[in-house]
Structure 1
């Protein structure tokens, strides 16, 4: 039931923002309003749970197949593949991620805490690349944000134009992020 409520909330947040009422969310989830409040005391708690679930999904998918013993370049390439897969494989999740990134519904500190796992992960990879002498000089935080933003925006427009994502497209996106 909790997942149905979170799914409904995510859908309605993208469609209506925070204007979606708790009763509308309950209706979308096909649960009684009382059941919704049994799981979430307030709309803020519910929105926080949506962020946390999305952040957990992001982190889980980005670290999938990672081998900390592998060369940093190999780890970065895996990360890029995983990020592309994360954004491309589920259009609705990608829209939710984009929406929550652009219209923060929680205080910045809460969003930072929720997404710390994925931020720390790319930060560690970039630091390893720097330590290996492979990475240009610059702020690692900016680089991590640039990579994620570039992938999300490129795939958003690719999808908007109704284009398929080819192997050549994936390779080009990764190459642009690597150089």
Structure 2
């Protein structure tokens, strides 16, 4: 069910990589409290529900560690968004290997494959 991470990656890539203006808007809204958290969440409600559902389905299939689907999805979204944000100033195209590395790192965390 590593595809759960790939699905979140695809959604995040569209939201925060392919649409630079939307990414800049999110960064602005995230860093400038001109809107309440609830107002900002309204802008992304469908997307948040989608990623939460991906995690829940993966948990039900036994592929993702236990825990709040919202919390786990938030981790995957945040890790992906922050990585893309830091990578965005680099003018070179995002390489497939970089995309796969993000997916693999999220999967490692969400699957609990390396539990102590």
Could you tell me the TM-score, scaled by structure 1's length? 0.53
Give the one of 98, 105, 109 matched to 1:169. 98
Q: Pick the aligned partner of 1:109 from 38, 43, 47.
A: 38
SS in 1 for 2:88: helix
The 3 A distance-change label for structure 1 pair 76 and 154 is closer
Once the two structures are TM-superposed, the CA of residue 73 in structure 1 deviates from its matched residue by: 4.6
**By how many angstroms is 1:163 displaced?**
4.3
Structure 1's unaligned 5+ residue stretches are 1-71
Q: Which has the larger radius of gyration?
A: 1
**Count of aligned pairs between the two proteins:** 108
**Paired residue for 2:17, among 88, 91, 94?**
88
Structure 1 residue 170 displacement after superposition:
0.6
Name which structure has the greater RCO, CA cutoff 8 Å, separation 6+: 2
**1:178 lines up with 2:113 in the alignment:** no
Please state if 1:144 is matched with 2:73.
yes
| Structure 1 residue 104: Cα displacement | 3.2
Instruction: Map 1:11-160 onto structure 2 (within 5 A).
Output: 73-74=2-3, 76-160=5-89
TM-score by length of 2: 0.77
Q: Distance in 1 between matches of 2:105 and 2:5?
A: 13
Greater helix fraction, Structure 1 or Structure 2: 1
Q: Distance in 1 between matches of 2:44 and 2:55?
A: 17
What is the distance in 1 between the residues matched to 2:19 and 2:96?
Answer: 18
Determine if contact 1:87/1:94 at 8 Å carries over to the other structure.
yes
Q: Decide whether the 8 Å contact of 2:8 with 2:77 is kept in 1.
A: no
